[in-house]
């Protein structure tokens, strides 16, 4: 299981200010960056089982 939470209190803000010649560009914005992810992962057949049967190679070698 895994829980990931981003920006719980919604504090992420962007501020941009630029001066070009006599112009002043200002940009303030608040984005929706709050999210939560919950992941559940399960592995089927997680135990390793070895093959216990006879292989076809021994039959082929006996025919020769």
Q: Pairing relation of β-strands 2-6 and 35-39? A: antiparallel
pTM: 0.40
Contact by Cβ (8 Å): 18, 25: yes
pLDDT at 7: 82
Tokens in use for 36?
Answer: 């939560």
| DSSP state letters, 24-40 | EEEEEEE----EEEEE-
Q: 5-60 pLDDT, tens per residue?
A: 988 887 778 888 888 888 888 888 877 788 899 999 988 776 666 666 666 666 66
What single DSSP character describes residue 61? H
Pick from 10, 44, 46: nearest CA to 29: 10
């Amino acid at each position: 299981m895994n829980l990931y939470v981003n920006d719980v209190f919604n504090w992420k803000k962007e501020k941009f200010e630029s001066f070009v010649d006599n112009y002043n560009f200002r940009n303030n914005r608040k984005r929706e960056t709050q999210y939560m992810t919950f992941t559940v992962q399960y592995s089927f057949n997680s135990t390793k089982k070895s093959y216990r049967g006879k292989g076809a190679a021994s039959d082929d070698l006996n025919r020769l």
